[in-house]
Amino acid sequence: MIQACIAISLTVFFCCDAFAQQNTPSSDEATISFLKLKPRHGLFYMSMGSGNPQGDFQSNIGSGGFAFLMGGGYSFEPILPARYTGFNASLVLGAELGYVTLNKNKRPAAYYKFYDDYVYTNSVVPIDLFARLQLNLAQWVFPYAEISGGMNIYSATTDGEYRERVVRDGREEWETRTDEIYSARNVFWKYGIGTGVMIKLVENITLPNKASSMLLDIKARYNYGAKSSYQKVIDVDANGTTKVEEYANAGTDLLFVQAGIAFRF
């Protein structure tokens, strides 16, 4: 009788323990929940879109063209008390580098024996430092506003293109080579204001302590450029002579509209 009571008691104990384990979150689940709320201090992004001259710059250079930007920074977060997990904010300090082809044209080098084509380009390399106030809405949506400052390196260039025969793995191939035959460069100082939103696409949790996410990043920034003197390549004649227009004390404002991918880690 005593043995039967002991057996019944042990059976009840183990059943209750198993039930409790099924209804208690595992340590991995608790860790994952913690990592989802863990601050992400790293930011890196790449985006493509358009760089659009404004005001005097548009009148002189044209409507603009393709723009590629990449940047990153450090996020100080959260800046509100940590208990606000559904709504919080961060301060992001970072830097950005890009390339904008404002306009690019090609014409045959009809009367020149060495080059096949002339390519003339007006472009900008933007370099910025920025400070961003970024909101965190339920760990999914991150609207932000930012201020920036830096410089645009403006280039008006003409390149001569030619094809050269090379041998690779025993086979003859033609490769396109380029020589810069004209260049005029200026630096425009600037400051800007921007706004955008990041929307989380993928979240990656790696136990025991790593968390990162990939986001869709959509943004716009207006750069107020200092007035400056610069040239615009407008044509290249058949002999390779570059024709330019010159502007003095003219505006250099640029509007960027971008979409791309961001990573928080």
Q: Mean of the pLDDT values across residues 200-227?
A: 90
Given a contact cutoff of 8 angstroms between Cβ atoms, the answer to whether 151 and 189 are in contact is: yes
* Interatomic CA distance for residues 211 and 140, integer angstroms: 14
**Is 31 inside a domain boundary?**
no
pLDDT in tens, 175-211: 889 999 999 999 999 999 999 999 999 998 777 778 8
Indicate whether 22 pLDDT > 50.
Answer: no
CB-based contacts of 170, cutoff 8 Å, min separation 6: none
* 77 located within any domain: yes
pLDDT surpasses 80 at 84: no
Per-residue confidence band for 24, with pLDDT thresholds at 50, 70 and 90: very low
Virtual torsion, Cα 193, 194, 195, 201, nearest 10 deg: -150
Confidence of residue 87 (pLDDT cuts 50, 70, 90): confident
Q: Which of 15-29, 106-120, 203-217 has the lowest mean pLDDT?
A: 15-29
**196 within domain boundaries:** yes
Tell me if 169 is assigned to some domain. no
Q: Average pLDDT of 154-176?
A: 88
Query: If you average pLDDT over residues 88-96, what whole number do you get?
Result: 96
Quick check: is 104 in a domain? yes
**Mean predicted confidence (pLDDT) in 231-245:** 91
Q: Could you tell me if residue 178 is inside a domain?
A: no
**Residue 205 has what pLDDT?**
77
Which has the closest alpha carbon to 142: 156, 130, 132, 153?
Answer: 132
Q: 6 in helix, strand or coil?
A: helix
- Is 164 among the domain residues? no
From the list 200, 55, 96, 65, the residue with the least C-alpha distance to 140 is: 200
Q: Which pLDDT does position 86 carry in this prediction?
A: 74
The residue with greater pLDDT, 232 or 85, is 232
- Report pLDDT digits (tens) over 35-63: 677 888 999 999 999 999 999 999 999 99
Give residue 32's pLDDT. 67
Which amino acid type is present at position 142?
Answer: F
What is residue 26's predicted lDDT score, i.e. its pLDDT?
A: 54
Those residues whose C-beta lies under 8 Å from the C-beta of residue 256, and which sit 6 or more positions away, are 49, 50, 51, 52, 67, 69, 126, 194, 219, 220, 221, 222, 223
| pLDDT over 80 (residue 94) | yes
Domain harbouring 227, CATH code: 2.40.160.20
Overall domain count for the chain: 1
* Residue 51 domain-assigned (yes or no): yes
Alpha-carbon torsion, ordered 161, 167, 171, 177, to 10 deg: -10
- What are the strands, taking DSSP E only, across 109-170? 117-137, 141-168
Query: What is the per-residue pLDDT across 131-142, written as a single tens digit (0 to 9) for each?
Result: 999 999 988 999
C-alpha triplet 174, 175, 179: angle, nearest 5°:
135
- Angle, vertex CA 16, rays to CA 11 and CA 17, nearest 5: 100
Instruction: Identify the pLDDT of residue 240.
Output: 82
Residue 159: both structure tokens together? 């390149």
C-alpha span between 209 and 196 (Å, rounded):
30
> Which pLDDT score is estimated for 19?
37
Could you list the residue range(s) of the whole structural domain that residue 58 is in?
42-111+120-158+185-264
Highest mean pLDDT among 30-34, 39-43, 176-180, 260-264: 260-264
DSSP reduced 3-state for 43 = strand
pLDDT: which is higher, 208 or 148: 148
Q: What average pLDDT does range 68-86 have in this prediction?
A: 87
**Mean pLDDT (whole number) for 227-245:** 92
